[in-house]
Amino acid sequence: MAIRFELNGKEVSADVEPDTPLLWVLRDHFWLTGTKFGCGIAQCGACTVHLNGLTRRSCITPISRVEGGTVTTIEGISGEEARAIQDAWVALDVPQCGFCQSGQVMSATALLREIPKPTDENIDQAMAGNICRCATYVRIRKAIHRASDSLEG
């Protein structure tokens, strides 16, 4: 059954079983391998994408739920908050191995879109579901503040 949705600004369709996880479809069908598999059970955040503008763990999202919706992955994220996050990530050399980082960037961007000037507490709450094996948490927090400051102009 073909499932239609918008993926990174383009109308797409995927002919897969309705219970196929979105993450499988992104990686194996569309070859968008920036979104990672870490746990498959909504515990690590490596698979985070935006679904209709909000963060969503793609490993536990059946593709049938995405029908008619809008999905944005690390390959397609754009806008001033995403740019500010990317710049701050590069400036502070945030990633270590990098495996968790696409999920981190998706959550951080979603946070800045809702709270342009987040406190440490806001950051910790928004990022609590994104685990980093390399423990880059301190740099992540710093980079989000830096991105926020840069948006202020």
Residues in the site for ligand FES, rule: CB under 6 A?
A: 37-40, 42-47, 57, 59, 95-101, 132-134, 136
16 binds, among ligand FES, other proteins, none (CB under 5 to 8 A by kind): none
Minimum CB separation of residue 46 from other proteins in Å reads 6
Minimum CB separation of residue 118 from ligand FES in Å reads 20
Nearest to 5 by CA among 81, 58, 78, 79: 58
61 binds, among ligand FES, other proteins, none (CB under 5 to 8 A by kind): other proteins
Q: CB-side exposure of 108: number of CA atoms within 13 Å? A: 33
Minimum CB separation of residue 28 from other proteins in Å reads 6
Kindly state the tokens that stand for 82.
């995403």
Residues in the site for other proteins, rule: CB under 8 A?
A: 19, 21, 24, 27-28, 33, 36-46, 48, 54-57, 59-62, 65, 97, 99, 107-108, 110-111, 114-115, 122, 125-129, 131, 133
65 binds, among other proteins, ligand FES, none (CB under 5 to 8 A by kind): other proteins
Query: Could you tell me which residues come within 8 angstroms of residue 41 by beta carbon, excluding any fewer than 6 positions away?
Result: 59, 60
